[in-house]
Structure formats: C-alpha cells, structure tokens
Structure 1
Amino acid sequence: MAGGKFCRARWLLPLLFVLYIFLSLPEQDPPEQRVDQDFAGSLNFSSSILELDGVPIVEAGSLAAVLPATSTSLLTLRNTLSPFLHTPSCISKVLVVCPESLLSQARVAVRQAVRSAPESDHNPDVSLYPWNGNPVPGVFHAATQASTKWLLLLDESGLGSLSERTREMLLCPVTVNLPTGPRGVVGSPGNWSCAHPSPETLPASYLLPPFVIPSSLVQEIYEDWPGFGQAVSQSRMDRLGGVVRGLGDPDSNWCNIPPYRAFIQPDITTLSAPFPADPFLTSGGLFVFLLPNIDDLRVVLQLVCRLQESGHSLKVLLYSESRTVLGIPETYNSRCHFQYDAMRETGRDIYPMVYDWLDRTEHEPDVIFTLDEPATRPVQSERAVVIRIPRDDLPYVQWMGSLSLTEWMDWHVPQLEISIITQDRPQSLERLLSSLTRARYFGDSVTLRMNMEQSSDFETVRIVGTYQWTHGSVFTHRRVVHGGLLPAVVESWYPHSNHSYGLLLEDDVEVSPLFYAWIKMSILRYRYGEASSETARLFGISLYQQKNTELHPEGRKAFDPRKLFAQNHIMDHSTPYLSQIPCSWGAVYFPEHWREFHAYLADRLSEKTMEIDRIVVPNVRSNNWTKSWKKYFIEMVYLRGYVMLYPNYEGFVSLSTNHLEVGSHVKERSKEKEEMFRLPLMELSSSVQLLDLPGARLPEWDALPVLNLTGFLINLDKS
C-alpha cells in the first residue's frame, strides 16, 4: 500500500505544479476582445471616461471630407466650404454630395469658393458627387469612393457653430478607431438623450455630424446616423457607437436644433396638425402642400418656412412616402417648425386617400400647392387656389415665398402672351427660342406668337414652322406687304382682356431662365397686390437692366442706378426702380396702356391733331427717331406721367440681354457697342438670385425711386 501511494504522489506533484503555473499566468482574452482592450488601453479607460491626449493625429492628406448639399444649403455652400479651403488641415479632398437637379448651382458655388481661397500647395481638391434622395446614404455612398484612410462626415451645415478648437480637432483628428466628434447621443431607442460637448471624452451610442471615422468602418450604405452607430457598436465587445469630445463649444443645447432633434426623438410616421393647430390663430392663410415624399419637401423647405414666417399656417401631406420618416424635418433656420402627415401607399390610385385627408382638414385651405403629377391632378377646390408645379421647376420656387396671400389668390388671373418679331436673322431667332425653351414657367400656360415680316428668308420660315412649344398655344403670322419695324412691333400683339399681358421680343434678344418668375412676381405685386389701386401709372415691366441712358440730346451716357441711389442717400441701393423710358429689349406691356398707345399712335400718324414732325418731348434724342415706335410711346409716357418697372441686380445681372445684331436701327456692330448693351443673364445657378431685393421681396409701391427720361431722380406723383 505504501509503495502504491508513493507512486501516485510521484505523478500527482508534477501535475499540481503545472496547474499552479497555468493559473498564475495573466488571463488571456479571445483575440477580438484583446484588440478592444488594447484600444481601450490606448485611450486610457477610466470610470467610463475616455482620454484622447497623447494619441497621434492622422497623417496629412489621409483625410477626406464628405459634405451634403441641399436646395436650402446651396445659398450658403460657398461659406460652408470656406474652413476646408482657408484653414491648414489634413484634408486632401472634399466631396460635395448633391442632387443632380442642383449640380449646376452647386458647381458655381464650389467654383466661387475655390477662387476665393488663398493659393497653397495643400489646398484640397473639391469635387461634386451626384446623388438623388436622402442625403445621409448619399454621404456614405460617396465615402466608399473617397480612397483615403480617414473620413470626416458632415451634414449640410459643415463645421458651422463649432468653436475654433473643435474645428481644428476635426480638420486634423486623432487616430481613434471609433467615430469621434462633438455631437453624440446616449441611451436606447425611445429614450435617447444628448451627450453635451465636453473637453473630456465621453462614450456615445451614436454620433451626429460632424465626426471622423476610419474609412474601414463604412462596410455598407446606411440610411441614417443611428443605423451607422448601431452597426459600429454591434461590432465591438464594449458596445460603443462612438466617442464625444468638444473643445470650447458654447452651444450645449445643440440637440434642440430641429435637424438634430429629429434624429433623437422617437420615430413618428404620422402626425396630424401643424403648428399652430388652428390656422385662424395667425393673420395669414392656410397653405396645404401635397408632395410625394420627404425629399420633395426638402426641396421646397425654404418656401414653406418663408410662408410660416409671414404668418401663414401650414398643412403638409407626403402621399407616397414609403420609408419611415420623422414628423419634423430639418429646416433652413431654427425658427421654422412644422409637422406633416405621411402615407406609405405607393400604388397608382392614391387620390382617394389624398381626398380623404383633405376632407378631414378642419378649415378650408386658401392655397393648395402640389406637383403636376397624376396622383394629384384630380384635386380641385371651389375656394382654394390649386397650384401645380412641374417637378423640374420645384427647386426654383423660393421667390413665391415673397408673395402676399392676396397675390397667391390671383395666381391664375394674369395671362402672358409672348410676341416674337423676326425677319431674316435665323441664328438670332434660334438663340431666342432656345432661351425661351429652357426657361421655367411654373406650370402656367403661356401663349406664343411668332410674327414674320414679308421679307423673312427661307431658314427663318423653316425655324418658325418646326419649333415645338410645350407651354401653351402657338400662333404664327407673316405679312404679305413689307411694313417695317414700327408696324411689325405695334401690330404684333393686342390684348384680349385687362388680364392679358404682352411680352415683346425682337429676335436679337435673349432671356434668362427666370424671366417668367420676374414677370409673374412683379405683375402679382403691382397689379393684383394690396397696392394695385395705386399703380395705374405703371405701364409695364422691363426684363432688361439699363446700363446706359440713350435719350440725352448729346448721345448715350453710362448709367448705374446703384451709384445714383447711393449719391442721393437712398437707403437700399439694390431696390428696383421706376423709369419713364419704355424698354424694347425684352419688356411686358400692360393691356390698358397698349390699347391707349394704339389709339395715340393712330391719331398721331393721321396728323388729325398735330403735324407728324411736331416736337412733343423737348430735348430728347428720340425726336430724331423717325421710324421708331418708341419715339411715340415716349411721347405718350411724357404727356401722361407713366412709368415702367426696371430690375436693379448686382453687376447688371439681367432677365434679358440684347446682342446688338445688325438690322433696322443697327448699321454696324462694333465690340465697344456690344459691351455697352450686352448684359449677364440671371442663370439658374447664378450667385445673383431673384430675391436679392430689399427684404427679399419687391418693395412697396411708394418706396420705389422714380427716374425721368434722362435718368435723373424725380418726385413723380404716383397716386
């Protein structure tokens, strides 16, 4: 027995020693957990607080910024890009994610931002990334194409409202294998709260832009920021979705800003009443917006918010929103708050549900704004004005926010007729027709009249006969006896009612894509607005912006209305103005005044009341224009105290321009003369916009300066 016990002890003692050594070794974690512990050690976890001090920053040139641009943020895109171009950073490229419909406008803003940046060998490349739809997945999609090790993901505000130190932290961030930024959210779905910016580094469930990530974390295209944070946290043992750090940011209440609050509130798919719930709590009207989805609402957000700021109430229905959407969208300013309803039906026959929704509206709407699409074409109203906007025009409706309710209610009353006068300049005619084709008409029907002289050449006749006009009726006229320019213009149009307006265009004119918006906005303001009873002396609206005055007896003189207004202490130099000079290079004439001109001209040419060579207006150059219709219109204006509205945009940006083609009144076409008359057109992507006006709207009638025939300010009684 003793020998057996000894034998067992001989093998048991080594076994116990091996067990002692094994149990004495440091505990080994699984490989994936060890990686997290190594990372945690580099950040120095301490009571759930992370420290980033001492962690190296990313290498220069290894960081790309991804910035979404929307229809509302385009207005400030140039300034948003400024920190990336003016501040030394580790960024090598900036990708601007932009809907295709806004690419041309975004391209202009990017070009302006790059040109204004100081020259440097380290300026990042800025490029556009087309993406239609929700900008968040667009940001992630662009991020996969960035080919850099690190990414700075942004929303449309860029680095706005952040402290200088926080900006520096993001432009050259530390190498942390987690999303890192100043705005984080903690908690769980339904119980989210903000992690306020702090110099100390805090754990977060997910981050909201701006934040930095290693590009390896973008494994797929995420629909929203919480979804990305969840994907990050599920890949980690510590379940962190990001770390929050801010350096001196003053706004600790950032999560109450609507764009951020929308990502923190519980998911709401259907909400009933806008703010305020009762439209009669405001002095304005009730506007109903019927739009397919949240992306369309974002496009018109500036218009919607402008209406709310003006005291109107809003109800919004998204009738084909198939995604889960939040009840309060991001807005272009912090004062705009409204709710909307959303239907998830995507079938073709959705009108019955739209009708039921309208029928449940507690108060009758004043205006129904919708897209010109099959789903809402059956929408009619005995009381409300229904405005149907083509989808392509939707990004350019901001100017409509300047209209009063009275002007909205008369939307369909004025009818524009475009009258083209042409003879034998086919290339000029094609240029004019091309500019009319690319213009925006916002769903209105516009009649087109093309008037050819008897001597029109074959190519001109062919162009007129083959031109396709999709915005209304087309009428063509050709003289059988040569009449000359005076009858060609005067007889090209005659009003059929007091709501008929004639736009007269000779073929050497070219128009801006926004010319119709300027006309519509002006006619509604001064012919149908609250002051319409005071504007009887207004005979028309010029598209052309005067750059010189031509009626001085000694000849043309350079003219700049902004300088004139500054010299005469007029407060806002950007105001449009009234002038007694009738414009012949793109202008609308009003029906009463054009009929009156016909009667005046017939009497004048008959010589019943005075000889044809009688001087009516003293000391003006037009007295020598024996074959010009303008000579006689100037006489009528002078005798009766009439005025025309002129635009006054920065840099002489105009709604029409004249190409000074050789013709009845132009015998030679020098470069000097061309520069004197040709103006830059207001393009859809121009930095100068239609609402670059005092208070972003057309001034009151009594506030418009008045100029006489030679360009001097006068005190004309406008009542």
Structure 2
Amino acid sequence: MLRYRILKLRGDCLLSLFLLTLIFGLILRIISLCRETFNHEPLSKAPGGDVEPFSLLLIVLGHSRPSSLQRLLNSLSKVEWLHSRVDLRIWIDRGSPRDSLRVAKGFIWSHGSKIVRIRKVHYGLLKSWLQAWPLWDRHDYALILEDDLEIHPQVYQAFRYLTSKIGSRDVDGVIFQRLQDIPCGSFVHFASSWAPVFSRRVFHDFVGWYNARRTCVPGFQPFVPGHDKTYNHWLRERRDVWSPWLRRYLYEKGTVFLYVGSLGMVHNHHERGSHQTEAPAFFVHRKIWPKVEWNRIQECVLQNSPVFECNNTQDGVQCGPVDGDRRALLRRGIKGFLSDKLWICGAPRAV
C-alpha cells in the first residue's frame, strides 16, 4: 500500500512538472512573439533625411513552387533595407511540396524576425490572402508577395522615402504594378496583386468587410461594373480568386493607393499556380534590375496628385482619370451599395 502511494505521488509530481514545463514554454513563446512584433528598432532616417514613421512587414505566400519561392527570397536578400527592422512571415499552403518548406526554413533573414508556417489544411488563393496578415502582427504596413514575383533592390528605399514625404496617414497602400500612362505619385483606384502594400487599417477593414458580406448576404458575389470579362466572369465560373473581392471593397469604399509602378520595382513571372494553371512551371532566368536614379524617385512626390481609376479588362488593364477626387469615387460606391440592397450589412464608410 505504501509502495503504491509512493508511486502515485511520484507520478503526480512528474505530471505536475510536465505541465509546468509546458506552461513555461508557452509563456516564453508568447513573450518571444510579442518581442518580435512590438520591439522595433529606433526610427532611422531615409536617404532624403526624413524620419521613418512606420514599420513594414513582409508576407510571402508560398504555394507549390519551391524554385519560384527560392528566387523570390533571393531577391528579398538583395534589397537595400537601410538598417531598418523588417520582419518576415512565410506562409506555405498545405499541399505544397516539402521542398517549399525546406526553402523557407533554410532562408537566412538578418533584418528582423522570421516566422515560417505551413497551413494545417489547404487554403487556396482566396483564403491565403485573407489570412495573410494575422491580427497579432501589429505593423503599420505589409508588403504581400506571391512566390512567382521578384522585387527590385531599391523597392524599400523608394517606399520609405515616398511614404515619409507624402505622409503615412495619407497612404492607404502602394501599387508597384506598372500601369499605362499614369504619372508616378498619382493615386489609383485599382486592385493589384503584384506585391501590393496595404496599411494595417485598410487590410483588416477589408477582411472585416469580406466576413460581413459573406455572413449577412449568403451567396453574395462581389460583381463590379466594367469587369464582365474578367472579375465577374471568374466569379461566375466559381474560381478560387481573391482580387474581385478586393476590387468590390475598393469600389464601395472609394479607396485609392499611391502609384509608383512606373519605377519598375516588381516583376511577375506568371508561372503555373493556383490561378495561372496553363502557364509554364518555372522560368530559369532571373530579372536583371537597372538602377533607379534618385531623382526619379524624388519626382514621384507631387503637389496635387491626380486620381486615376483602372479596370482589369479582357484586353489588359485600362486606366483613365477620375472626374473629381476620391469623394466622387466614394459617392459612386455608396450608390452601388444601395442598388445591391446591402444596407442590411451596415452603411459603407471611408477608411
């Protein structure tokens, strides 16, 4: 009987020790995540002498293209990060080859924290974008990259300078995708998936808007006028796409992004993936980037930035000037909101 009590007491002690160790490890992990998220380095100066007023998060979405992922990460390692802290998150979708996870974990990142996660289930394109920026990552901006992209070594230099000059409060996001005949420094009403930069406020408002639409209007489809051959067509085909949802959100809110695409800061290889099913599997070549002269970046700071609207048509992206300013876009979005009888979801508001 005494032997049994001793063994039971020993077992209880071991179990208690195990639970304490588990709890202690969990606490350490939470502390580590908090440090990664909140402990940014002191604000540093951009080449133009302006103090950096924000923090940037890099988010990489990996699917089933390990070679493409490696090329993208190599391009990130060549970016001039100007001694800033820039944290990196790499999300690998379930169903990707093990090589994608190996590439992500083996990549050395010395400019901030790096977290690699493989999804527990297959997310697909839409959910991967919606879940790209977790709420606990409280950075001011996020640059979101699909794995078949490459970015210019001066992309951060340009982004930081322009955002500090224009004012981070006035920049809801940045478009690096090259569009036709639009002056650098303009504001553009367009949904780009080529390395877009979102402000935290806009991205999480978009996710909340999406959840509200799906909850309060079952079967709602985010159709937008002028996109019958592209976004609206993809929705009718029930494709796994996210850009129509973002375009509808921008349409309702009248949101515009800062355009710097004429600087040529991003290259899309259009390789086979969730959306490009007919494209080649992998391009061996890498982009050779020309140096962008500093005066070209400075010229993107405009006194009165014009506003353009761009639509993704069957013949490519078509852009034109907006008659008025952003408020004209917002008024039009409200009309579309009312005509679709969406008042049950709450009135739209500018963000």
TM-score, with length taken from structure 2? 0.70
| Deviation for aligned residue 1:624 | 2.4
Letter in 2 for 1:715: D
Partner of residue 176 from structure 2, selected from 543, 548, 557: 543
Structure 1 unaligned blocks of 5 or more: 1-384, 389-396, 547-559, 563-573
| Deviation for aligned residue 1:490 | 1.5
> Which residue matches 1:424?
64
> Which residue matches 1:516?
156
Alignment of 1:322-401 (within 5 A): 387=44, 400-401=47-48
> Which residue matches 1:645?
258
SS at 2:70 equivalent: helix
SS at 2:163 equivalent: helix
**Deviation larger for 421-430 or 618-627:** 618-627
Q: Does 2:283 match 1:663?
A: no
Alignment of 1:242-253 (within 5 A): none
> Which residue matches 1:596?
205
TM-score, with length taken from structure 1? 0.35
| Deviation for aligned residue 1:698 | 1.4
> Which residue matches 2:221?
613
SS at 2:208 equivalent: helix
Letter in 2 for 1:414: F
Q: 1:661 to 1:423 in 2, by over 3 A?
A: same
Q: Deviations over 1:174-214 (max 9, x none)?
A: xxxxxxxxxxxxxxxxxxxxxxxxxxxxxxxxxxxxxxxxx
Question: What value does the CA root-mean-square deviation take over the aligned residues?
Answer: 2.8
Q: Distance in 2 between matches of 1:527 and 1:635?
A: 26
Q: Distance in 2 between matches of 1:496 and 1:680?
A: 34
Q: 1:619 to 1:575 in 2, by over 3 A?
A: closer
Structure 2 unaligned blocks of 5 or more: 1-41, 312-317, 328-351
Alignment of 1:350-499 (within 5 A): 387=44, 400-401=47-48, 408-409=50-51, 411=52, 413-494=53-134, 496=136
Q: Distance in 2 between matches of 1:640 and 1:679?
A: 38
| Deviation for aligned residue 1:715 | 2.7
SS at 1:600 equivalent: helix
SS at 1:703 equivalent: coil
Q: Distance in 2 between matches of 1:517 and 1:598?
A: 29
Letter in 2 for 1:457: P
| Deviation for aligned residue 1:480 | 1.1
Letter in 1 for 2:173: G
Higher normalized helix content (fraction of residues): 2
Q: 1:580 to 1:659 in 2, by over 3 A?
A: same
Letter in 2 for 1:439: V
| Deviation for aligned residue 1:477 | 1.4
Q: Distance in 2 between matches of 1:484 and 1:513?
A: 29
SS at 1:625 equivalent: helix
Contact 1:426 1:463 in 2 (8 A): yes
Letter in 1 for 2:309: L
| Deviation for aligned residue 1:718 | 3.6
SS at 2:104 equivalent: helix
| Deviation for aligned residue 1:543 | 2.1
Show structure 1 runs of 4+ deviating over 4 A. Answer: 495-499, 678-682
SS at 2:205 equivalent: helix
Contact 1:707 1:714 in 2 (8 A): yes
| Deviation for aligned residue 1:414 | 0.7
| Deviation for aligned residue 1:697 | 5.1
| Deviation for aligned residue 1:612 | 2.1
Structure with larger Rg = 1
Count of paired positions: 272
Q: Deviations over 1:591-618 (max 9, x none)?
A: 1111110111112222x13632363x22
Q: Does 2:309 match 1:699?
A: no
SS at 1:624 equivalent: helix
Identity %: 23
> Which residue matches 1:108?
none
Contact 1:654 1:679 in 2 (8 A): no
| Deviation for aligned residue 1:495 | 5.2
Q: Deviations over 1:519-562 (max 9, x none)?
A: 2123223334xxx4xx3xx431022212xxxxxxxxxxxxx316
Contact 1:500 1:590 in 2 (8 A): yes
